[in-house]
């Protein structure tokens, strides 16, 4: 028997219209002044007004902050905090993809915290004595099926010009999450692909996480991968397919619950420098290193990837663990190709000369690399980036 612990968001609603599901959830917390944290793309998609109308219909005062930038820079997070303080917000709603939801988490925390954000990066660095009364009530409504941020205690921030750091602390678990697949039917194809693959990587890395993998995270990762592998091709073929969008949104959330407890590894560690230095969308950067990282890991640790092949790749069982692991990695590469994602680093302007800096920065992602099945070295990271070029 191996001891483990597991945490998630206490209240989750799936399948109702977001506006209808959110209003009673928020009302239960007694807050009168609510700030919605979102971005211009989500506003343009027409997703904010119905939620605002439902909340104002309850007599609440609502302020929409729509200036979140993708891969939120620290200064933009602090600007959102200032807006919430000016408005005297009593509760925060994140409405959007990972960028608005991560910003919303930090706004809910920093409105109440005396501790500066710069000292919060890392795992469990939030000093509760510096957050009198705890964070503001926090609710999340995802509009991408990718990060699972609605159920993770993680907020990723771009610090300085070129490094992505995470605040990882249970205080960031939201009070409630509302999942409405209809909010995702208007996602552009490339965002559907990138965010969907990100979600699959969360499930794969949770299932193969070295340190805190456990029976609950395994069950969630398996269910997530099943739904995502089934939903992604259908959502790509027809963005209005509500059943496919539902599979994706649920799969992304289950993957989020899995990796919140069994954290991601080297795929994310090597993807972050690509995103930070070259402003490549998070899911695309993951795709760029996915095959080479998995092949590196599977060379010495094929078993768990072979198990995932049994889940997703029909036929072919009975081969060696190594060959089954290879079939799983081939399956993932074919899936990303079918989604039209070209993963080559050179396609986003990265050249051979950039690789040492990428490898150096990847080695700084110690929070993630400690979860990786196989020890990652600078030389191995450089070789992986070379393969991905
Ligand atoms: N907190 C976590 O656990 C976690 C996990 C993985 C990644 N992340 C972080 O999340 C961020 C990425 O989030 P993301 O991939 O969801 O993308 P995103 O939030 O940056 O959004 C990408 C684009 O999609 C648009 N968009 C979002 N929903 C839309 C919709 N329904 N219709 C039309 N357009 C829409 C946005 O306006 C934006 O332009 C990164 O900063 C990443 O590091 C966080
Ligand atoms: Fe991710």
Ligand 2 centroid – CA 17 distance (Å): 26
Q: What are phi and psi of 87, to 5 degrees?
A: -80, -10
Other CB atoms within a 10 A radius of the CB of residue 346 amount to: 12
Q: Is 205 in the pocket of ligand 1 (CB under 6 A)?
A: no
Structure tokens at 216: 């609950």
User: In whole angstroms, what is the distance from residue 43 CA to residue 36 CA?
Assistant: 11
Which residue's CA is minimally distant from atom 7 of ligand 1?
A: 147
Given CA atoms 188, 79, 137, 29 in this order, what sign does their dihedral have? Answer: negative
Q: Is 98 in the pocket of ligand 1 (CB under 6 A)?
A: yes
Which residue's CA is minimally distant from atom 13 of ligand 1?
A: 98
Ligand 2 centroid – CA 129 distance (Å): 31
Domains in the chain (CATH in brackets) are: 12-184 (3.40.50.1970), 189-388 (1.20.1090.10)
Largest Cα span, the chain: 63
Q: Is 158 in the pocket of ligand 1 (CB under 6 A)?
A: no
User: In whole angstroms, what is the distance from residue 205 CA to residue 371 CA?
Assistant: 9
How long, in residues, is the chain? 389
> Which pLDDT band holds residue 187 (cuts at 50, 70, 90)?
very high
Ligand 1 centroid – CA 245 distance (Å): 16
Which residue's CA is minimally distant from atom 15 of ligand 1?
A: 195
Structure tokens at 20: 């209808």
CA dihedral 350, 235, 232, 46 (to 10 degrees): 60
Question: Can you give the pLDDT at residue 164?
Answer: 82
Atom of ligand 1 nearest to the CA of 183: 31
59: left (phi over 0), alpha (psi -120 to 50) or beta: left
Structure tokens at 204: 């794969």
Structure tokens at 179: 């999942």
Q: Is a pLDDT exceeding 70 seen at residue 313?
A: yes
Q: Are 217 and 204 in contact (CB under 8 A)?
A: no
Q: Is a pLDDT exceeding 70 seen at residue 317?
A: no
User: In whole angstroms, what is the distance from residue 9 CA to residue 196 CA?
Assistant: 21
Question: Can you give the pLDDT at residue 316?
Answer: 65
Q: Is 156 in the pocket of ligand 1 (CB under 6 A)?
A: yes
Per-residue pLDDT tens over the stretch 113-140: 999 999 999 999 999 999 988 999 999 9
Question: Can you give the pLDDT at residue 128?
Answer: 95
Per-residue pLDDT tens over the stretch 262-299: 999 999 999 999 998 998 999 999 999 999 999 999 99
| Ligand 1, pocket-test mutation among 95, 99, 153, most atoms within 8 A of CB | 99
Q: Among 106-110, 293-297, 338-342, 380-384, which is the least confidently predicted range?
A: 338-342
Other CB atoms within a 10 A radius of the CB of residue 283 amount to: 29
Find the mean pLDDT for residues 69-82. 95
**Which strand (E) or helix (H) includes residue 140?**
strand 138-142
Q: Decide: residue 239, CB within 10 A, 0-12 exposed, 13-18 middle, 19+ buried.
A: middle
Q: What percent of the chain has pLDDT over 90?
A: 90
Q: Is a pLDDT exceeding 70 seen at residue 339?
A: yes
């Amino acid at each position: 028997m191996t001891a483990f612990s597991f945490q998630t968001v206490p209240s989750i609603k799936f399948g109702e219209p977001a506006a209808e599901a959110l209003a009673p959830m928020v009302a239960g917390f007694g807050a009168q002044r609510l700030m919605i944290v979102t971005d211009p793309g989500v506003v343009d998609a027409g997703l904010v007004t119905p939620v605002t109308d439902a909340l104002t219909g309850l007599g609440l005062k609502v302020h929409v902050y729509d200036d979140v930038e993708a891969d939120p820079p620290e200064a933009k997070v602090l600007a959102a905090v200032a807006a919430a303080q000016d408005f005297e917000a009593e509760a925060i709603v994140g409405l959007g993809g990972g960028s608005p939801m991560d910003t919303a988490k930090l706004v809910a925390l920093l409105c109440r915290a005396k501790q500066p954000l710069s000292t919060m990066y890392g795992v469990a660095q939030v000093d509760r004595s510096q957050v009198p009364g705890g964070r503001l009530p926090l609710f999340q409504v995802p509009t991408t099926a990718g990060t699972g941020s609605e159920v993770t205690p993680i907020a990723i921030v771009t610090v300085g010009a070129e490094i992505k750091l995470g605040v990882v602390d249970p205080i960031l678990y939201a009070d409630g999450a509302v999942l409405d697949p209809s909010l995702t039917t208007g996602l552009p194809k490339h965002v559907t692909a990138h965010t969907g693959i990100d979600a699959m990587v969360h499930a794969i890395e949770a299932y193969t996480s070295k340190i805190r993998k456990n029976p609950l995270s395994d069950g969630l990762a398996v269910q997530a991968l099943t739904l995502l592998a089934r939903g992604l091709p259908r959502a790509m073929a027809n963005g209005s397919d509500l059943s496919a969008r539902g599979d994706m949104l649920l799969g992304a959330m289950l993957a989020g619950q899995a990796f919140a407890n069994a954290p991601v590894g080297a795929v994310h560690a090597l993807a972050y420098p690509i995103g930070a230095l070259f402003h490549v969308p998070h899911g695309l950067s993951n795709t760029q290193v996915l095959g080479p990282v998995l092949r590196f890991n599977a060379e010495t640790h094929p078993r768990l990837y072979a198990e995932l092949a049994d889940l997703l790749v029909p036929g072919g069982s009975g081969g060696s663990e190594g060959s089954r692991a290879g079939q799983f990695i081939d399956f993932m590469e074919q899936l990303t190709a079918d989604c039209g994602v070209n993963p080559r680093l050179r396609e986003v302007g990265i050249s051979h000369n950039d690789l040492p800096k990428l490898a150096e920065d990847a080695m700084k992602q110690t929070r993630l690399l400690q979860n990786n099945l196989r020890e990652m070295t600078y030389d191995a990271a450089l070789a992986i980036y070379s393969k991905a070029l």
